[in-house]
Amino acid sequence: MKPRALLLALSLAGSPVWAQQDSLFPDSVLREAVRLVTEGQGDSARALVRSRLSAWSPQDSLYPLALFTAGVVAQAAESALTYFRRVSIEYSRSRWAPAALLRLAQYAFARGDWNGALRSAERVLLDYPGSPERAAAAYWAGRSHLELGNLAEACRLFERAEAEAGLEVEIANRARFYLQRCRTVATRDTAAARPGTAATRASFSVQVAAVQSPVAADEVMRSLRARGYEPRVIRDTDGLFKVRVGQFRSREEAQRLAAELRRILGGNPFVVEER
């Protein structure tokens, strides 16, 4: 996925932007700019944002919203991140500061900067406890802790994300997906602690793609990570690189994930049994 497409996916998908569009984008012109950029009309979107930035002064109450929207519609990733940083620093008391921090966390995660993602997400949780972005921030903080090997803290944050998601169904579903892993690990550890008891391993996964090169596999994995999933790649005996998501003890759980991936990504993800 190209940097601009990745940034747009991270800025808009899996976040409260659409569920609370009127509250996050109360200005009709800036709402229109966001709509245009999602339809591929980036130049028109940026022109609308420039008109607002020119018309408003930096002291205007909606000026940070114009900066935030400039980040959403920016053509270059670094430009977008500059706008989000400005909102989070220069307008830290504004409604849009936690939303900007969330975008910074998501993009840092996509780059593999787990510590950077964690810092931005934790700022939302610590400095803006009443923010609508707190569930998404808890989710991305959990993902970052997971990548850093802090499973217990990751599971705690996924529980918080699920509990606080409210109408953000996609965030709740993603948190539940990782909570299944938490419960599987807890069950396995409990079984391993019992004398004479063998730990049970998950054996069902969802295969999203089978490609011929590691470059193609990396592209698929980046796309999945941008949407909040944790893919892995397996080099099979047929020479193909197979990108898979999830590890479940039952086929039914894996089938639910396969249906979700088909809805989000299209194609034909299917359940495989791993031995």
Residue 272 β-bridge partners: 205
Is residue 45 situated within a structural domain? yes
pLDDT at 223: 84
Is residue 163 situated within a structural domain? no
pLDDT at 185: 61
Tell whether 106 and 210 lie within a shared domain: no
pLDDT at 240: 82
Is residue 71 situated within a structural domain? yes
Structure tokens belonging to residue 109: 């995660």
Tell whether 7 and 124 lie within a shared domain: yes
Is residue 101 situated within a structural domain? yes
Helix (H, G, I), strand (E, B) or coil at 243: strand
For the residues 65-73, what does the mean pLDDT come to?
Answer: 95
pLDDT at 264: 84
Is residue 162 situated within a structural domain? no
Tell whether 113 and 223 lie within a shared domain: no
Tell whether 10 and 120 lie within a shared domain: yes
Statement: residue 57 has pLDDT above 50:
yes
* Cβ contact 257:206 at 8 Å: yes
Is residue 146 situated within a structural domain? no
Is residue 52 situated within a structural domain? yes
CATH code, domain with 47: 1.25.40
Indicate the residue among 107, 128, 149 that finishes a domain. 128
Task: Give the pLDDT band (50/70/90) at residue 115.
Answer: very high
Indicate the residue among 128, 163, 180 that finishes a domain. 128
Statement: residue 247 has pLDDT above 90:
no
> Count of domains in the chain?
2
Is residue 178 situated within a structural domain? no
Buried b vs exposed e over 7-44: b needs ≥16 C-beta within 10 Å? bbbbbeebbbbeeeeeebbeeeebbebbebbeeeebee
Statement: residue 20 has pLDDT above 70:
no
CATH code, domain with 254: 3.30.70.1070
pLDDT at 95: 92
For the residues 121-138, what does the mean pLDDT come to?
Answer: 93
First to last CA, the chain: 32
Statement: residue 187 has pLDDT above 70:
no
Indicate the residue among 96, 128, 160 that finishes a domain. 128
Segments forming the whole domain that contains residue 262: 204-273
- To the question of pTM greater than 0.75 for the whole model, the response is no
